[in-house]
Chains A and B, each alone.
Chain A
Amino acid sequence: GNSVTQMEGPVTLSEEAFLTINCTYTATGYPSLFWYVQYPGEGLQLLLKATKADDKGSNKGFEATYRKETTSFHLEKGSVQVSDSAVYFCALSPNQGGKLIFGQGTELSVKP
């Protein structure tokens, strides 16, 4: 079946450090891939997405590349800020417009 696996948290970084949050997936066909962010006390917000192999999604300094050969969609940012502290969810949609399947979430804490 379809599933998403993320690296376990919490991840604690100092401000301006490099961030990588690993995400791998299992899916049949050609899923679309997403990263969502959840700030404390809020709902989830779409951070970025990629809909086909080798696409790179980017937003607010975050990037992720759809790697079909390694079934991965790792999230990266070159220099994190305290305001990036949140929970990050990787998700896939097995088909166009289909239901989202989420990973378990990775909590990021950035210290000044």
Chain B
Amino acid sequence: NAGVTQTPKFQVLKTGQSMTLQCAQDMNHNSMYWYRQDPGMGLRLIYYSASEGTTDKGEVPNGYNVSRLNKREFSLRLESAAPSQTSVYFCASRESGNYGYTFGSGTRLTVV
């Protein structure tokens, strides 16, 4: 099915471990986004990529890095995980000029 695919769906990390969340879209969208969702706080933008080869910080970038590997893929890396990064992470994409975002199904991350 066309859309945004995120892996893994669930992950438990120990404090200080690193990991990369993967995101891929097959809709030929130019822009891609990483959000985190926390109870009572809605979705907050971590990083985004307006087009292939560019990335920019969002509202809460500290503790994260991203890579726009190609037009399809946009990965999010936690270099040294902290309990405050326990959250549900969503990747989304958008075609230029189209307002609607397409979201992946999310990665539920727990840092212990």
Q: Footprint of B on A, CB under 8 Å?
A: 4, 32, 34, 41-46, 49, 51, 89, 93, 96-97, 99-105
Residues on A with C-beta less than 8 A from B31 are 97
A46 vs B92: C-alpha distance when bound (angstroms): 12
Residues on A with C-beta less than 8 A from B42 are 4, 89, 102-105
Contact of A46 with B101 at beta-carbon distance under 8 Å, contacts A89-B43, A99-B45, A102-B43 already known: yes
Q: Which residue from chain A places its CB closest to the CB of B30 in the assembled complex?
A: A97
Contact of A44 with B101 at beta-carbon distance under 8 Å, contacts A89-B42, A102-B42, A104-B42 already known: yes
* New contact pairs (10) apart from A43-B105, A49-B100, A102-B44, CB-CB < 8 Å: A42-B105, A43-B103, A43-B104, A44-B43, A44-B92, A46-B100, A101-B45, A102-B35, A104-B40, A104-B42
Residues on A with C-beta less than 8 A from B105 are 41-43
Report the minimum CB–CB distance from A109 to chain B (whole Å): 16
Report the minimum CB–CB distance from B96 to chain A (whole Å): 6
- In contact, A99 and B43 (Cβ under 8 angstroms): no
**A–B pairs, 17, beta carbons within 8 Å:** A42-B105, A43-B103, A44-B43, A44-B103, A49-B99, A89-B42, A97-B31, A97-B94, A97-B99, A99-B33, A99-B45, A100-B43, A100-B45, A101-B45, A103-B42, A104-B40, A105-B42
